[in-house]
């Protein structure tokens, strides 16, 4: 029986037993909250959540989820003792108890049958593998981006979630941002005319990871450095790497192409109705930017500058009859001005992050596909990885989205994956 079916079964049994006048040894008073009365959520209907690798961004995600009445966070896991205690305190303060459990090894969380879903906000060296392990353990996943380190991980993640039927939501929260959704709808529904060019704010140097300066390694209980590196190639302990939010050693470092492209290229994919494919050509522009072309002729421009100043993470969509640009400020610029008449805000708007978390939680219950599901994350990340490889090699590349390989370029194809350090396996 699935967890959701078990929840329904427990609720149905309780209500039936009470309605039938079940024989009890003594009179008992059952609080209305147990039955979900007075607008309370019955415990059997709550999504039981655990957090893994909760730093700055993860703390925000966790607080957003705990702000939903149908979520109960019961455990946190981190390789750093200071973070374990900080987040445990945060969770316990939220619920007014001392019930939050702490772990150093994520496998102890995955072994708990009461946990329905996990929030993964570790360094990106762990994102894909932790998500895959979670799905195999029967957990639904909300994973911060970048969700994968390379093309092979992207494909493995999507295949695992398709096979297991678990729910995956990548942390590309702008998919649920009101202004971004409006801009995308203009592009997808033909209100800009035939779509010609989509622009993503991303770019930055792409390189192989280096070798940090060795520093004295703390006790394992304080910082478990070996588990922090996880599947990435071993590197000596370095506090700078420990505190970095990026890839932690081994293979390619995607820089801004992957970090911001996870958001902005992802939105361009959606605007072009390309969630099931990727561009077929990638060409570097200098050593930090790139352009790409889809099979339908739409051009993807990955650039850092030249924006209208509408906030971080801007995107721009241009068609034969108009254009639209928007960013994190929520402001929208467009032409012709008459396009603004189509802008309708939802009745309930929790902001991009809140909407995105709610989208995930709704799908945990319905078993539907959230907006940044495994298939979406797979393709948008492949587009970023392919662009990063073109920048790294400094040459134009052709890509076959069906075979998921570069055409006629062995060196580029070798960069689609990297070795996973023992004992970890995808």
Q: Does a cis peptide bond (omega within 30 degrees of 0) precede residue 294?
A: no
Backbone angles phi, psi at 294, to 5 degrees: -85, 165
Inter-axis angle of helices 81-95 and 56-66, to 10 degrees?
A: 20
23 domain residue, yes or no: no
Query: What is the Cβ-side half-sphere exposure of residue 327, based on CA atoms within 13 angstroms?
Result: 14
Strands 315-319 and 322-326: antiparallel
- 426 and 329 together in one domain: yes
Dihedrals phi, psi of 185, to nearest 5 degrees: -65, -35
Q: Which helix (H) or strand (E) holds 252?
A: strand 252-253
Q: Are residues 179 and 304 in the same domain?
A: yes
The per-residue pLDDT for range 201-248, each reduced to its tens digit, is 998 777 777 788 999 999 999 999 999 999 988 889 999 888 874 454
Same domain, 382 and 327: yes
Nearest to 236 by CA among 217, 208, 221: 217
Q: Do residue 154 and residue 278 come from a single domain?
A: no
pLDDT band with cut points at 50, 70 and 90 for residue 285: very high
Q: Are residues 166 and 179 in the same domain?
A: no
Range of the domain at 93: 3-18+28-173
| 186 lies in the same domain as 330 | yes
Rounded-to-integer distance, Cα 47 and Cα 44, Å: 8
Please write the tens of the pLDDT for every residue from 170-199: 999 999 999 999 999 999 999 999 999 999
* pLDDT in the model for residue 244: 74
Helix (H) or strand (E) segment spanning residue 363 = helix 351-366
What was the pLDDT predicted at 3? 47
* Boundary residue ending a domain (140, 157, 173): 173
For tokens 């929520």, name the residue.
330
| Residue 132: both structure tokens together | 């895959």
Q: Is there a single domain that holds both residue 216 and residue 226?
A: yes
| CATH number (domain holding residue 158) | 3.40.50.720
Residue where the block lists tokens 């990955």: 302
Specify whether 166 is located in the same domain as 183.
no
In a domain, residue 360? The reply is no
SS3 call for 258: helix
Return d(Cα 288, Cα 254) in angstroms, integer.
Answer: 10
**Mean pLDDT, rounded, for 118-141:** 96
Q: What is the pLDDT of residue 39?
A: 57
Note the pLDDT of residue 38: 55
Query: Are residues 343 and 358 in contact, defined by beta-carbon separation less than 8 angstroms?
Result: no
Same domain, 163 and 183: no
With CA atoms as reference, report the closest residue to 150 among 386, 397, 406, 410.
386
Regarding whether 145 and 180 lie in a shared domain, the answer is no
Does residue 359 lie within any of the structural domains? Answer: no
**Last residue of one domain, picked from the residues 173, 207, 237:** 173
CATH number at 384 reads 3.30.360
Do 233 and 334 sit in the same domain of this protein? yes
Total domains, the chain = 2
Average pLDDT, the chain: 89
More confident position, 13 or 407: 407
Please check whether residue 103 lies inside any domain of the structure: yes
State residue 253's pLDDT score: 65
Contacts of 192 (CB under 8 A, 6+ apart): 186, 317, 318, 319, 320, 321, 322, 323, 324, 339
Buried b / exposed e across 100-127, counting CB within 10 Å, b at 16+? bebbbebeebbeeeebbbbbbbbbbbbb
Same domain, 232 and 91: no
């Amino acid at each position: 029986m699935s967890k959701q079916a078990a929840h329904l079964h427990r609720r149905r049994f309780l209500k039936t037993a009470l309605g039938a006048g079940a024989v009890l040894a003594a009179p008992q008073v059952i609080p209305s909250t147990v039955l979900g009365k007075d607008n309370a959520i019955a415990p059997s209907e709550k999504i039981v959540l655990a957090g893994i690798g909760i730093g700055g961004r993860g703390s925000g995600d966790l607080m957003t989820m705990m702000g939903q009445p149908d979520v109960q966070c019961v455990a946190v896991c981190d390789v750093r003792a200071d973070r374990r205690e900080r987040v445990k305190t945060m969770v316990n303060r939220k619920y007014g108890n001392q019930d939050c459990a702490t772990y150093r090894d994520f496998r102890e969380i995955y072994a708990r049958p009461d946990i329905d879903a996990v929030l993964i906000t570790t360094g990106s060296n762990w994102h894909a593998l932790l998500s895959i392990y979670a799905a195999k353990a029967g957990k639904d996943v909300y994973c911060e981006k970048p969700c994968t380190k390379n093309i092979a991980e992207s494909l493995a993640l999507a295949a695992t979630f398709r096979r297991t039927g678990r729910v995956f939501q990548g942390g590309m929260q702008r998919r649920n941002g009101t202004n971004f959704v409006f801009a995308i709808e203009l592009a997808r529904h033909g209100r800009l005319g035939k779509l010609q060019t989509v622009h993503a704010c991303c770019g930055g140097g792409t390189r192989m990871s280096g070798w940090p300066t060795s520093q004295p390694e703390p006790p394992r209980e304080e910082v478990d450095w070996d588990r922090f590196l996880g599947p990435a190639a071993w590197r000596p302990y370095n506090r700078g790497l420990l505190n970095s939010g990026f890839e932690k050693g081994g293979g390619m470092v995607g820089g801004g192409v992957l970090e911001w492209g996870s958001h902005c290229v992802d939105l361009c994919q959606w605007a072009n109705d390309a969630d099931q494919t990727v561009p077929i050509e990638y060409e570097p522009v200098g050593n930090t930017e790139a352009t790409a072309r889809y099979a339908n002729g739409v051009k993807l421009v990955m650039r850092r500058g030249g924006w209208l100043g509408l906030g971080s993470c801007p995107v721009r969509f241009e068609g034969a009859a108009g254009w639209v640009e928007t960013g994190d400020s929520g402001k929208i610029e467009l032409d012709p001005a008459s396009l603004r008449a189509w802008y309708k805000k939802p009745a309930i708007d929790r902001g991009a992050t809140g909407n995105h978390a709610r989208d995930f939680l709704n799908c945990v219950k319905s078993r539907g596909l959230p907006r940044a599901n495994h298939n979406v994350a797979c393709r948008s990340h492949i587009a970023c990885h392919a662009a990063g490889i073109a920048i790294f090699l400094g040459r134009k590349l052709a890509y076959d989205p069906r075979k998921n390989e570069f055409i006629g370029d062995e060196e580029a194809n070798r960069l689609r994956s990297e070795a996973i350090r023992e004992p970890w396996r995808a």
